């Protein structure tokens, strides 16, 4: 039997075959989207003329400008200066085809020019204004992701380890040389056999009380420092993470292992650049991506360094070999050491959003430009007018906005943390940066491939960027903490907070919703609200946020019960492993709740009414698309009745169409210059002309 809409179009007593009904509905989907729940009919989808430029809604330029003004950070001027600098220096622009050796040399010239010609002092920025530092890193990564990563290695990792793990004597000696690039350096933590498990590193630093030196040694091949950025070609120093060994101070006169500490180790001569005695450096070679970064492997054979080269903020050794620390245990010192390196994760999450914006901009602009098929004897239509294409790209565009606001908040929290050293804020930033880095980089990696597919054969051309974006960004999921490991840190902290809740303790700011509403979220769903399906209700931010938080609370409560049950027979480690997928889902759910809460807050804070309406539309799509993608969870516990689930699905499709109508304005509001986009198919105008010129016509 045909649906009511079909029956109304058929004459009285007429019937329509299932095949004919299907064909008619497929053709109508090109002309008119599904109406929003409660509407009698949706607005007709106007056909775009086949042209070299995508059509823009009336007043679209003003919409884009207002959105851009709201998105624009307070350090946009610094980014624009860098864009102008690279635009004026064609010799520093990265070509499509480049050998590994040439890319490495170009990347170092780019960094040197940024520091010495453009006058940027990244380490000073990192110490005085982290938000501007991350803005500079994003801009550098826009010019070339390898440049952004090499900048991060030099300043976030090598420089950051010196200023955050060292003391005044280290800053006085090394700060200026790191900042002006006289002292290119490395961050030598990862070993061949150990990456995520830093406490199991094997490189040793044994104190020699006779000479007042530490002896750095690689005890076996598994302890070779591996994937060390800047090591293969350019680095002159390395912060080496090693086990601090004190002879004769253990039980029975055995050596005492004081745990992992950081040491400054010169690896090349400052004048000749020759590798220093006792150090062996080899090249990790060509990689899947980021070939402008020279990753190398380091072996140390009894390399002696002064005792003062121990970065001694959290632990020190005196001239007579006595160890002192303000922190009582190895675990606490280790946690403090890694906690000071959280800025790397903040930067990766922030820059990953920048990569996502570039990919989405290219895909959306091309989808608006590209015209294929259409109703009989009528012009072809834009591929973005196909519902399937909207389903691919519009939730992704909405996510780009959601992640933008979330990472701006993360940077602000990190900046405040560095100013105040507030312990609660330190803990909050540590877990939040872990979760956002893991969630956003995984999402971006998947999205780049979807964007490539959405651009068809032209997306496969190297000049249109998707291959380089995918390959350069892919490692974001691994360095500065493997994403699966980081999500476990989030889950572990949630469980800790959960225990504190039931012991009468307080919760950190990000977990307030667990403190305020745990009872509500763990109660049985209201059978009345479970059936509400009106558009006003579904687009109510309170409903959306409650749904996200309800899911997180249920997951937290259930995994806590499972861990308690399995620990009785499997032990703590075995129980954790048995529940691992559950724990990862919990962490992702929590991070999605944090992202949505910030998005809703950002919409409410927008001062311009029209801009706020557009952002509200995008936020609603982000929220309802996430709910629909996990609708099984909500149905299983009767949080959403079948009719409501259907209404959410319909409204999500309708919102995707609505966002499509302002898609050009939304990507233009990212305010990415052509220097950053670079893909001919992603240009704002005359894309086909630029593409044909590139290949030689």
* 16 has catalytic annotation: no
Looking at residue 42, its pLDDT comes to: 39
User: Is 19 a residue whose pLDDT tops 50?
Assistant: no
Q: In this structure, are residues 160 and 179 in contact, taking their beta carbons and an 8 Å threshold?
A: no
Looking at residue 528, its pLDDT comes to: 56
Looking at residue 523, its pLDDT comes to: 59
**What is the CATH code of the structural domain delimited by 343-682?**
1.20.140.10
Looking at residue 519, its pLDDT comes to: 57
Binding-site annotation: residue ranges: 190, 229
Rounded to whole angstroms, the Cα distance separating 185 from 169 reads 18
Residues contacting residue 31 through CB under 8 Å, at least 6 positions apart: 44, 45, 47, 375
Full-model pTM:
0.88
Q: What is the pLDDT of residues 249-287, one digit of tens each?
A: 888 889 999 999 999 999 999 999 999 999 999 999 999
**Which of these is catalytic: 480, 533, 588, 665?**
480
| 33, 51, 55, 365, 481 from 370: Cα distances, Å | 20, 9, 11, 9, 39
Q: In this structure, are residues 337 and 246 in contact, taking their beta carbons and an 8 Å threshold?
A: no
User: Is 143 a residue whose pLDDT tops 70?
Assistant: yes
Binding-site annotation: residue ranges for FAD: 190, 229
pLDDT confidence band for 511 (50 / 70 / 90): low
What are the domain boundaries of the chain?
64-180, 187-330, 343-682
What is the three-state SS of 125-153?
A: HHHHCHHHHHHHHHHHHHHCHHHHHHHHH
User: Is 430 a residue whose pLDDT tops 80?
Assistant: yes
User: Is 578 a residue whose pLDDT tops 70?
Assistant: yes
Residues contacting residue 292 through CB under 8 Å, at least 6 positions apart: 94, 103, 104, 106, 107, 144, 146, 147, 149, 150
Instruction: Tell me phi and psi for residue 240, to 5 degrees.
Output: -105, 125
For residue 261, give the H/E element and its range: strand 256-266
User: Is 10 a residue whose pLDDT tops 90?
Assistant: no
> What is the mean predicted confidence (pLDDT) over 172-187?
98
> What is the mean predicted confidence (pLDDT) over 551-568?
92
Superfamily of domain 187-330: Butyryl-CoA Dehydrogenase, subunit A, domain 2 (2.40.110.10)
> What is the mean predicted confidence (pLDDT) over 128-135?
96
Q: What is the pLDDT of residues 31-80, one digit of tens each?
A: 344 444 444 433 333 333 333 344 556 677 888 999 999 999 889 999 99
Looking at residue 78, its pLDDT comes to: 95
pLDDT confidence band for 22 (50 / 70 / 90): very low
**126-140, 356-370, 443-457, 505-519: lowest mean pLDDT where?**
505-519
Instruction: Tell me phi and psi for residue 83, to 5 degrees.
Output: -60, -45
Query: Is the CATH number of domain 64-180 1.10.540?
Result: yes
Residue 544 CA, distance from chain mean position = 23
């Amino acid at each position: 039997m045909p649906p009511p809409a079909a029956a109304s179009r058929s004459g009285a007593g007429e019937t329509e075959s299932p095949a004919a009904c299907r064909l008619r509905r497929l053709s109508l989907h090109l002309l008119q989207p599904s109406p929003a729940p409660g509407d009698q009919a949706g607005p007709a989808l106007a056909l775009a003329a086949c042209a070299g430029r995508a059509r823009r809604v009336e007043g679209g330029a003003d919409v884009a400008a207002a959105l851009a003004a709201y998105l624009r950070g307070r350090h946009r001027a610094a980014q624009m200066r860098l864009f102008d600098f690279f635009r004026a220096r064609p010799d520093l622009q990265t070509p499509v085809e480049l050998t590994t050796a040439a890319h490495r040399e170009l990347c170092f010239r780019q960094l040197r020019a940024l520091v010495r010609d453009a006058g940027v002092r990244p380490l000073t920025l990192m110490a005085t204004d982290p938000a501007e530092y991350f803005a500079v890193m994003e801009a550098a990564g826009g010019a070339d992701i390898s440049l952004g990563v090499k900048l991060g290695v030099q300043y976030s990792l090598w420089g950051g380890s010196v200023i955050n793990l060292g003391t005044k004597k280290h800053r006085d000696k090394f700060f200026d040389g790191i900042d002006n690039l006289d002292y290119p350096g490395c961050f030598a933590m990862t070993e061949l056999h150990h990456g995520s498990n830093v406490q199991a590193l094997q490189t040793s630093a044994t104190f020699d009380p006779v000479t007042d030196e530490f002896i750095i040694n690689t005890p076996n091949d598994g302890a070779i420092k591996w994937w060390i950025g800047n090591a293969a070609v350019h680095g002159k120093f390395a912060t080496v993470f090693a086990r601090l060994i004190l002879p004769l101070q253990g039980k029975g006169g055995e050596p005492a292992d004081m745990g992992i500490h950081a040491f400054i180790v010169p690896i090349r001569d400052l004048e000749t650049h020759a590798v220093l005695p006792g150090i062996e450096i080899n090249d990790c070679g060509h990689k899947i991506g980021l070939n402008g970064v020279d990753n190398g492997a380091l072996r140390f054979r009894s390399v002696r360094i002064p005792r003062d080269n121990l970065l001694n903020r959290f632990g020190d050794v005196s001239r007579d070999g006595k160890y002192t620390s303000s922190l009582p245990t190895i675990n606490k010192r280790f946690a403090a050491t890694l906690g000071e390196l959280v800025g790397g994760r903040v930067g990766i999450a922030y820059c990953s959003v920048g990569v996502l914006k570039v990919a989405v901009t290219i895909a959306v602009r091309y989808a608006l430009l590209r015209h294929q098929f259409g109703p009989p004897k009528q012009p072809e239509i834009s591929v973005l007018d196909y519902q399937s294409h909207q389903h691919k790209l519009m939730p992704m565009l909405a996510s780009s906005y959601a992640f933008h606001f979330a990472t701006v908040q993360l940077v602000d929290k990190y900046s405040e943390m560095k100013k105040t050293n507030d312990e609660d804020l330190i803990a909050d930033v540590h877990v939040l940066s872990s979760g956002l880095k893991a969630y956003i980089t995984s999402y971006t990696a998947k999205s780049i491939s979807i964007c490539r597919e959405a651009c068809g054969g032209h997306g496969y051309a190297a000049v249109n960027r998707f291959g380089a974006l995918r390959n350069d960004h892919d490692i974001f999921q691994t360095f500065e903490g493997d994403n699966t490991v980081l999500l476990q840190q989030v889950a572990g902290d949630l469980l800790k907070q959960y225990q504190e809740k039931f012991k009468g303790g307080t919760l950190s700011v990000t977990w307030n919703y667990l403190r305020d509403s745990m009872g509500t979220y763990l109660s049985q769903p209201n059978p009345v609200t479970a059936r509400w399906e009106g558009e006003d209700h579904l687009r109510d931010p309170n409903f959306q946020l409650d749904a996200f938080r309800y899911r997180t609370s249920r997951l937290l409560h259930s995994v806590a019960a499972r861990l308690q049950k399995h620990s009785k027979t499997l032990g703590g480690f075995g129980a954790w492993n048995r529940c691992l997928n559950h724990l990862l889902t919990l962490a992702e759910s929590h991070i999605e709740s944090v992202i949505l809460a910030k998005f809703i807050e950002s919409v409410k804070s927008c001062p311009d009414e029209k801009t706020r309406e557009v952002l509200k539309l995008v936020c609603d799509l982000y929220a309802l698309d996430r709910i629909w993608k996990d609708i099984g969870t909500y149905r299983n516990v009767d949080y959403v009745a079948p009719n409501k689930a259907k209404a959410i699905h319909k409204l999500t499709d309708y919102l995707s169409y609505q966002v499509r109508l302002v898609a050009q304005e939304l990507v233009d509001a990212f305010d990415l210059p052509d220097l950053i986009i670079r893909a001919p198919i992603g240009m704002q105008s005359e894309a086909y002309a630029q593409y044909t010129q590139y290949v030689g016509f």
